[in-house]
Chain A
């Protein structure tokens, strides 16, 4: 996506609310519609994604938020940008760090709740062992980015094709 004319991006989601975007750019699409898009409807993190990219953190997105979301999740976005937003998505309580509670939420969403509580806490422990560089019990953005550097698959998995 380029920073170009917004009209050319209207055809991206024609099934969304068909409003005239050129005249009223302040319309917010409710989260229910975003969450039922074919690209997002089976994604366990769709609620967090919508919350992170929406203006007020409630999941309702304007056109600009929508463009932001797909721009970051596209192929062309640089790795650091994707890592920044991925960090925000996994930070469930929005405190600027991924603590153990955030990790538990992530693992539960990832496995649809099919791992036992003991297994989940064991996994969270191992993740903190591996990724926490300054040993403060939670992951900062720098720890997360450092870990992402070691994962060459990140660019190809953190990508939504439109």
Chain B
């Protein structure tokens, strides 16, 4: 794509007056570095130091100004500010000198042969900054590579001048004291903000603990604990509307008690039944009538002594809507954080630059302990050696026999893993059928723990088997190993959860016809969560502590076990899936999950500090956190949402308990309400209209899906286009480099000829 340049370089007679002739680069926008290069060359020729420094002979290079000069930085940011401002409004012509052409003054200060003083450049930058909004000013200033003191001065200058200008142009008729009051308020808010900001580190939980973990183990292990913090935030977000609109209200208006209340034995904490059955914890406690209703005569001995002027609160409607809205908010938050995470870690058109990235980005500056720092040196050295060895191996030809052998081993291991998953699934199914066939009486509450124990044991044992099998296959990249391990574990957990969901909604609904099956499902999920926590504790104890003791005492190895990041993260995702599955049947389950996460944090942190070491191979921490959050969204949240939708739309609620006991499906509560609104009058008639034409009708659903597909297709095409543009731009850069070298050589030869003359 390089075109031969055929203009004649007009070499001036004396090297100093290069500015008087109209050279080609004055009028058009030329590559910055090319211009700088020519300037440097002419400066060196003038000073008598001829010769181009070869790359690599750094000590022989003539000294250049340290880095980029402040003037260059100011000019660069002036240009950026101008471009930004021009996006917003047309540029002011007032500030431009009459003699100068607008294209020169407003486009690029650096090309101006009159080389403005630094003070003037700074003044122009401040003027441009005033044209931006305050937020844009701050954003621009934050990105400037100048000292903090300088930035402070620039900011105060651009703010005061902006304020004065706005004051001049602004309200004429208002009293001056309003302006003073406004300023005082702004100052007070500002100092309040600063005070809050200084107190914020104290409010943020676990700041010191996270710093210690990062300092000792690096970013990869830290990503697990940050993910735990994220999950905690999600659960709090889920719990608040449930507490406010369902649990709180029902606790204020408790329904009539069903008779004798069983005494509290310790087993309730594990099984969730017994004393806990008729509490706000489960679905069955919630009434199906309108609470706080003004007394109407024909009511079957219901609460009639309340104030007649309270707000009537329909519990079934509130239950349905609150759960729906809470899920919707969680969905939006998840998708938003996933898209932000993707935006950070995946780039369009990024080829692999693994050596450069290892050299420049792999040193984790957070690590502050000596031992951990030494470990980092070792791991980077090992990684570089592995990369070099890999490259040399790839230089040599890979035999077809070796490749075939590797494919065969891979296929065999995958077959074994899928077989194990199938075996576990069938085992869970058979056991659940067995539990149905042999129903437990009220005294044998402990026997209800059998199915959760089996599920937890399988969830604990199978990953160890997978790890053992993975030792057979040899992957080229450690990242691929981790992805494959995550994939296998995920398939296992989702398969088991799928079988359990079928067991609850498909079989238990039928067998528990005259009882409260929703309570049973809620209790099963509670049991699964509690036992999962207990098994996590046991796993930490045996997997990490005992293993370290054994390996130190018996095997005489001083190596601590590695902290298994992928396995632990999948555990967290599994626990969160259980919470989301159970929210409809046990509204306080997020509170249980919050307590569990808090305890898991401290247990894991203690065990980590005492027993483990960081993973030996370097770990792409930010890619991993993107993977974690997308796994949380796709199989986990989506599965729970599908389960919820099926339970709300298709399953008949039990007739003896809960807020939907008289209806055919839970969704009917909404339909009943809409019908009541229709009869209510013309003022709210838009709600039934919306319901009839947008929700019940299938056409809008098809339309929205088609629109979404169209948007996705367009985005894919845009990304493809961007990739092509990036390729073309890269070619252009490399061609310009070649042009540069060609022109420099030409300059060389011209000056040499001049010297010889």
A residues adjacent to B (C-beta < 8 A): 2-5, 8, 38-39, 41-45, 57, 64-65, 67-68, 71, 73, 76-78, 80-81, 84-86, 88, 90-91, 93-96, 99-103, 106-107, 110-112, 114-115, 119, 122-123, 126-127, 130-131, 133-138, 140-141, 144, 147-161
Contacts and interface: CB of A to CB of B under 8 A. Distances in A.
A141 B73 CA distance: 13
A125 to B, nearest CB: 9
Contact of A119 (B143, B151, B385, B622): B385
B219 A95 contact: no
Contacts of A42: 367-370, 373
Contacts of A8: 194, 198
A136 B359 contact: no
A150 to B, nearest CB: 4
B148 A161 contact: no
A154 B58 contact: no
A100 B368 CA distance: 29
A151 B360 contact: yes
B168 interface: no
Contact of B381 (A73, A81, A111): A111
Interface in B138-179: 141-145, 147-149, 151-152, 155
B59 to A, nearest CB: 8
A43 B61 contact: no
A111 B361 contact: no
A95 B61 contact: yes
B622 A136 contact: no
Top 6 closest pairs, chain A to chain B, by CB: A134-B737, A137-B55, A152-B345, A42-B373, A130-B353, A126-B355
B621 interface: yes
B118 interface: no
Given A8-B194, A67-B148, A122-B388, A110 B380 contact: yes
Contacts of A141: 68
A91 B359 contact: no
B357 interface: yes
Given A131-B353, A151-B360, A152-B622, A136 B143 contact: no
A141 to B, nearest CB: 8
Given A4-B194, A100-B55, A160-B365, A123 B68 contact: no
Interface of B: 33, 54-59, 61, 64, 66-68, 141-145, 147-149, 151-152, 155, 194, 197-198, 210-211, 214-215, 219, 344-347, 350-357, 359-370, 373, 377, 380-381, 384-385, 387-388, 391, 620-623, 730, 733-734, 736-738, 740-741
Contacts of A99: 55-56, 58
A143 B368 CA distance: 30
A110 B142 CA distance: 30
Contacts of A4: 194, 197
A133 B361 contact: no
Given A95-B61, A150-B353, A161-B215, A133 B734 contact: yes
A131 B737 contact: no
A159 B360 contact: no
A57 B459 CA distance: 57
Contact of A155 (B55, B143, B344, B736): B344
Contacts of B147: 64-65, 68
A96 B149 CA distance: 24
Q: Which of B149, B344, B734 has the most CB of A within 10 A?
A: B149
Contacts of A86: 360
B226 to A, nearest CB: 10
Given A86-B360, A96-B64, A151-B361, 20 more contacts: A2-B197, A73-B365, A101-B59, A111-B384, A115-B381, A115-B385, A123-B384, A123-B387, A127-B355, A127-B359, A130-B356, A133-B734, A133-B737, A134-B734, A135-B737, A136-B740, A147-B360, A150-B357, A151-B353, A153-B623
